[in-house]
Structure 1
């Protein structure tokens, strides 16, 4: 029985070494990037968001080492930049935490935090969240998962931030590479109470819920065959590999310029040019 308080992918977290340089890179790729946010002191991190509808991307960096961000620092040390965790939308984080506890996963949290937000008119407001995590050790495909309850959606989904020169509209898939895709997919499916689906090329899909993006688990070799001509240099053998983004492909091709590679009916940014994250822009 599916979780009642977790309703699909909310955002993908791309862990980066230099937060401001990563933001400049994503601007060059045609994304509208939010002003920089600074999280609560115990988190020791900062971010930039790239807003879609109904989901988004987050560029996350460590500003000050803390106990809270130790796993993120360990990830960077081991893997370099890339998709470090995926957030689900939480309807109610307190109740969601109890739901996963009942399924045998002791939750981390719920934790309340906020960050200042400069609104388009120049005023400063706050984005407030309540999150909970599945146990850190439970990381299917090497990617941690957590759930995020937005208490102030109006300070996150700001219309001016949702229009992108590359035509990006929403997330369609999170691509996860692993030597044993079926095993990793089954692990995630159990954690979020969903069923897996097999694809013709051997990849295994885990729907995240509702109308949100799917997880696709596949080997690095399978990923290369799906996206011929795209260099996968820098990707780990096991970990978050990329994001498939519904977009205006003509606008994406124009905005990306030399960074874009035509492949699989769309245009793709190789991981080396996307801070460790492959970005595949496709038609809806």
Structure 2
């Protein structure tokens, strides 16, 4: 029976070592990057967001060590920069946490936090969230999952932040490298009540729900075959590897990416070494 209080992918979290440098890097790649946010003290993190519709990317950095961000710090120490976790949209985080508790899992949270937001008219408001996480050990393919309830959507999805010079519109797929695609896809499928489907190249896709992005589990070899000519240096054998983004205009994408662009079949890509440990693959709408 599908989870009632959790719907498809909300955003992808890219852990970075230097938050401001990462934001500047993504600006150079043609993304409109939000003003820097600082989360509540118990979180000990700061972020920049890259807003699409209906999802977004989050550049996340640790500002002060806290119990809450210990797993993120461990990720940076072991793996370096890259996709560290994926958020689902929570209709109700409190009810969602109870749903997974009823299935024998102990949720982390719900946790409430917020960050100040400077709106386009110069006024300051706040983005407020309530999240819960699946247990830290439940990380298919080395990627943690959690659910995020947006209590103030109007301070997150700001129209001025949703237009990008590189024509990015939304996340189509999140690619997770693993030596055991079938095993990890089945693991995620159990956690969110969705059955994996085999792709022609042997990768496994798990729909996240609704019209949101899919998870794709595949080996590094399969990833390389999907994007020939794109250097994969910096990617781990197991972990979040790539974001496939829908572009409204691939010519604009290629122009905005400049020297970082690598043509690979129908996609325009940015190698992980030039995107803070994450392969970015832009495809036509």
TM-score of the two chains, using structure 2 as the length reference: 0.99
Indicate yes or no: 2:274 matched with 1:273.
yes
User: What's the counterpart of residue 86 of structure 2?
Assistant: 86
The CA deviation string for residues 22-80 of structure 1, in whole angstroms up to 9 with x for no partner, is 00000000000000000000110000000000000000000011111110000000000
User: What's the counterpart of residue 142 of structure 1?
Assistant: 142
Q: How much does 1:234 deviate?
A: 0.5
Distance 2:130 2:265 in 1: 38
User: What's the counterpart of residue 132 of structure 1?
Assistant: 132
The CA deviation string for residues 171-197 of structure 1, in whole angstroms up to 9 with x for no partner, is 000000000100000000100010100
User: What's the counterpart of residue 251 of structure 1?
Assistant: 252
User: What's the counterpart of residue 59 of structure 1?
Assistant: 59
Q: How much does 1:198 deviate?
A: 0.1
Q: Number of aligned pairs?
A: 284
SS class of match (1:110)? strand
User: What's the counterpart of residue 211 of structure 1?
Assistant: 211
The CA deviation string for residues 211-268 of structure 1, in whole angstroms up to 9 with x for no partner, is 0000000000000000000000000000000100001211110100110100130200
Q: How much does 1:169 deviate?
A: 0.2
SS class of match (1:221)? helix
Matches within 5 A, 1:62-211: 62-211=62-211
Indicate yes or no: 2:45 matched with 1:45.
yes
Distance 1:6 1:260 in 2: 35
The CA deviation string for residues 127-147 of structure 1, in whole angstroms up to 9 with x for no partner, is 000000000111000010000
The CA deviation string for residues 98-145 of structure 1, in whole angstroms up to 9 with x for no partner, is 111111211111111000000001100000000000001110000100
Distance 1:264 1:206 in 2: 24
User: What's the counterpart of residue 231 of structure 1?
Assistant: 231
Q: How much does 1:151 deviate?
A: 0.3
Unaligned runs of 5+ in 2: none
SS class of match (1:30)? coil
Indicate yes or no: 2:257 matched with 1:263.
no
SS class of match (1:206)? strand
SS class of match (2:182)? helix
Runs of 4+ in 1 over 6 A off after TM superposition: none
Distance 1:49 1:146 in 2: 17
Root mean square deviation of aligned Cα: 0.5
Distance 1:264 1:23 in 2: 28
Distance 1:73 1:208 in 2: 27
